[in-house]
Amino acid sequence: MNEKEAEILPVSAFFISAISNKKFLDMIRQLTILCFSVLCLFTMEAQTIDDAIRYGKLSRSGSARGMGMGGALGAIGGDFGALSTNPAGIGMYKWNEVELSPGLLLNSTSSELLNSQGGATDETQFRFVVPAASYVYVKKLQSSRWTRRTLAVGVARVADYNSAFTFNGRQDNSITNYFIDRSNFVNPDNLNASSPYVGLPAFDAFITTFDINTSTYFADIDAGEVVNKNQTIVEKGGMDEISLTVGADYMNKLQLGASLSLPVLNFNQKKEYTETLDGHPIFRQLEFDENLSAQGTGVNIKLGGKYIIARKIHVSAAFHTPTWMRISEEFDNRANYTYVFSELFPNPGPQEGLSPLGAFEYQYRGPWRAIGGLGVIIGRAGVITAEAEFVNHKSSRFTITDDPGYEELLNREIDQRLGSALSVRTGIELRPAEKLRIRGGVGLGQSIFADADDIDLQYWTLGVGVWLSNSFFIDGAFRHEQIDQLYNPYELNNATPEITSDIGRNALVFTVGYRFF
C-alpha cells in the first residue's frame, strides 16, 4: 500500500471514557501514540507482497519472431528473442546480425465498483515502446570440434507496467472513514510522525476534525452515507534487461550459452481519488492523490544447454538464478477538500493538505527459474516448439536493513501466500513460401498463489515474417493477454470497497534485422 502505513484497529472511545484515572488515561494515550508511530514507521520503510508479485512476474517481449511464436523459441534458438529464456540458443547463429524491435501498446480496461450503484467504466492507454535491440557476433572455428563462438549484446523488456483504469460508483462508507481510522487517538501535533501520508494531509485539508474530549476524529459526513466515488490509476514503466551472452556450438549438435543480465527497473504510479456528495450542507468534494516512483538495478545469471537429436528434434534446458536488485522509492500524497461552512468560513475555498516526501531503499531477491524446451522441425514446412517454465515465487525475499522486524513479517507472508507456478507456452512457424513465415503461439499458466490451482489462458500471439533479400528481413507480431484483477482503493474494517477489472493487454511489435557474413 502506497501510504506505507500499518493497519491498526483503533481503540474504542468507550474503553477510554470508562477509565476514570487521568494519569492512567494519559499513559494509555501516550502508549497508543508510540505503538502507532513505530508500526507506521515499519511500513513506511518496507514493501508489501504486491511488490513481490509485480517484480517476480515476467512477460517477456523481445523480438517479433519470438513473440509471434508465443515466446517458445528456447529449443530452436537462432533469434535474439530466445536468449531471455535460454542463452544456449545463441549457439545456433551462423552469421552476424543486428536487430531493432519498436512496438506499440494498446491496453483496455473495464472496471466496476462492486456492491454499488453504477456500471462498468472503460479506459484505454496507448504507448510507444522499444522492447528489444541486439547485436550478435559469430566467430567461426576451422580447426576444432567447437565450430563457432558467439557473442551477443542487447536489451530486452522482460516486464511491462503500463496500464490505466478508472472506476465510478455510488456507495456508502466514504474514504473519510479510512482517514479517521489512520488518525484516531493521535494528537494532531503527532500526525506528522504517526500518520504522515494519510492522517496528516486529511487533517490539514480540514477533511477530518479532532475532538479533544475523546481524542478521536470525525468528518462532515456520516460513516454510512452514500457518496459518489471515482478513481483513476495510471501506471507507467517496465523492467528492461541489458544482457551480455556468450555461447558456443560443438559439432553442430550441442550448444551451450550463458548470460550476465542487468535488469533496470522504472515504475511510476499515480492514483487520483475523488468523492462528491450532492445536496449535503457542508461537504462538496474531496480529492486524495497518491504518487509513487520506483527505480532499481540488479543482476542475474542465465545458464543454458541445447542438444539436436537426429537434426529434426531439438531439446533444451536452462536455469536462471534469482535476480538481486536494489530499489529506491519516492512517494507522497495530497488531499484537497471543497466545502461550504458559511457560519465560520464565509469564503473558505478548497483546502489542501500535503504529506512529506518519503524516500527509502531496500533490496529485493526474485524467484529462481528452470526451463525445459522441445522443438520439432517439420521438414521445409516449418517448426513446432514448446517450453515449460517452473518458477518458485516462494523463494522471493525482501531485505530491509532499517527494519528487520517488518522484513521478517513480510517474508513470512510471502511463504504463506505465494507458491510455485508452472507455465507452458507453445509456438508454430509455417513457411508457405521461400521468403514468407506465418507464426502463432499460446501461453498457459498456473496462479502464483499457494491456495489457488487455476490454469488460465494467459495470452495468444500471431506473427508474420518476410525476407526482403538474403540479408534483410522484417517481422511483425501481435500479442493479446487477458487479465482479471481485484483492487482495493483503501481498507476499512468489514467495509473495504472492491473493484473488479477486466484488462486486455495488446502489443504490436516489429523487428527490422540485417544479417552479414
- pLDDT tens-digit series, residues 317-329: 999 999 999 999 9
Give Cβ neighbours of residue 425 (< 8 Å, ≥ 6 apart): 70, 71, 72, 386, 387, 389, 441, 442, 443, 444
Cell of 492: 476499512
Handedness of CA 365, 367, 368, 371 (dihedral sign): negative
Mean pLDDT of 418-443: 95
Using alpha carbons, select from 460, 440, 437, 309 the residue that is nearest to residue 381: 437
E strands in 277-312: 283-309
Query: Cα Rg for the chain, rounded, in angstroms?
Result: 27
The pLDDT assigned to 42 comes to 36
CB 136, CB 80: distance < 8 Å: yes
CB atoms within 10 A of CB 234: 16
- Calculate the CA 499 to chain-centre distance: 18
pTM, two decimal places = 0.85
Please write the tens of the pLDDT for every residue from 146-191. 999 999 999 999 999 999 999 999 999 999 999 999 999 999 999 9
Rounded to whole angstroms, the Cα distance separating 123 from 104 reads 17
At 342 the pLDDT is: 65
Query: Is pLDDT of 207 > 60?
Result: yes
**Distance separating alpha carbons of residues 480 and 242, to the nearest angstrom:** 25
**Among residues of the chain, what percentage have pLDDT more than 70?**
89
- Please report where in the chains the cell 514503466 appears, as a residue: 237
Q: Quick one: cell of 175? A: 474514504
Whole-number pLDDT of residue 379: 86
Q: From CA 501, how far away is CA 487, in angstroms rounded?
A: 8
What residue ranges in 196-279 does DSSP mark as E strands? 208-211, 216-219, 227-250, 254-276
| pLDDT recorded at residue 345 | 64
Residue corresponding to grid cell 472492491 = 498
Return mean pLDDT, the chain.
88
Could you read off the pLDDT of 464-478 as tens digits, one per residue? 999 999 999 999 999
What's the average model confidence in pLDDT over 489-512? 93
Residues 52-64: what's their mean pLDDT?
88
3-state helix, strand, coil in the chain (%, to 5): 15, 55, 30
Alpha-carbon distances of 429 from 264, 432, 457, 462, rounded to whole Å: 32, 10, 20, 10
> Higher confidence at residue 62 or residue 497?
497
Which pLDDT does position 485 carry in this prediction?
87
